[in-house]
Structure 1
Amino acid sequence: MSQNDIYAASHAAILAEREARWNTRRELAATFGQAVISLTLNIPGTDKNPAGSAQAFDSLRQALGRAIARHCGHAACFAAETERAGVDGPCWIAAVNLDPALLKALCVAVEEEHPLGRLADADVLGAQGQPVNRADIGLPPRRCFLCEAPASLCRRQGKHDPEEIMAHVHNLLALAISADAQS
């Protein structure tokens, strides 16, 4: 099997997993009539499970869960939760009894304030299955790993060397490993 074949197979598996995750999110929104959150890691490249990813995910998942619980104000905060792991990395999906805009704001706060927050990719759907984006709640686009520009702009323009981006990601993952070892 050639390198191109391996890459194509890996890419296809990642896309299939993302589609399954999308379907799970929409099903939970329809079933519970609540906002749905999906937390994954933002790891560039085809290896979505490098060393430190499990520790980073656990730390981010706990931080996001605590933030949601603080703002929930009632016992039935999470109507349903599921975790999965695969070629696209770890994932937590939950139907949450909160306003979707507030839920997205909590996600953005974790993405921006947690030491590993740049690795978090927290997506929110409203109760009717519509995505809630940063722009929907009046926030600017996500920043690049390496500079202050919008990440989508840097990615589209190929502004940064992929090796430099991966080095930054691996440094963040090393922080997760170190923090896990200390706890």
Structure 2
Amino acid sequence: MSQTAILAAILAEREARWNMRREFAAKHGQPVLSLTLNIPGADKNPAGSAEAFASLQQCLRHTIEQNCGHAGCMLAEKERTGVDGPCWIASVNLAPLALKTLCVAVEEEHPLGRLADADVLDAQGQPVNRAGIGHEARRCFLCEAPASLCRRQGKHSPEQIVDYARKLLKHARHEGHR
């Protein structure tokens, strides 16, 4: 498959996932959590990604259930894996800002959290971002600058970024983060 075809497939999958999240919000009338992996490069399913995803999903589920305060936190769930990697979408019976706060805690505290991309939509299907809970933007894999700034400025080579992510994935495979 050519790079152009791979990119087109990834973009199509991301659009389908976005639509699925919005449908979950509309159908269930609750905030929606979407967990994916932040894997740089064209291969979004490299060795270790399944283990990393399972570990992050388990941690996030446990964190939500511990902090939910009532039975039935997860109203509906769907998992899928495709060219853009694994994805878990859940309708969660929890206030959107509280849910985002829990997601950010996992992203920042879990050993593989830098690979996590835990997005939250409110019940109306609108994104809840880090700024909404008083957090700064995600940091670069390699330095303390905001990731979006490093990307725009091209501060690091694609090889350096991919190498960092592959090291985390190797850690997931060998350290048994489950």
Q: Following the alignment from structure 1 to structure 2, what is the Cα–Cα distance between the partners of residues 176 and 25?
A: 27
Q: Following the alignment from structure 1 to structure 2, what is the Cα–Cα distance between the partners of residues 153 and 55?
A: 29
* 4+ runs deviating over 4 angstroms: none
Q: Following the alignment from structure 1 to structure 2, what is the Cα–Cα distance between the partners of residues 79 and 100?
A: 14
* Coordinate RMSD, CA, aligned: 1.1
**Which residues in structure 2 correspond to 1:85-104 (within 5 Å)?**
85-104=81-100
Name the SS of the counterpart of 1:43 in structure 2.
coil
Structure 2, gaps ≥5 residues long: none
For residue 120 of structure 2, what is the aligned residue in structure 1?
124
Q: Percent identity?
A: 70
Superimposed CA distance per residue, residues 40-75 of structure 1 (whole angstroms, 9 cap, x where no aligned partner):
000011100000000000000000001100111111
For residue 162 of structure 1, what is the aligned residue in structure 2?
158
Name the SS of the counterpart of 1:121 in structure 2.
strand
Are positions 1:115 and 2:131 aligned together?
no
Aligned residues: 178
Shift of 1:137: 1.1
Q: Following the alignment from structure 2 to structure 1, what is the Cα–Cα distance between the partners of residues 148 and 8?
A: 22
Structure 1, gaps ≥5 residues long: none
TM-score normalised by L of structure 2 = 0.97
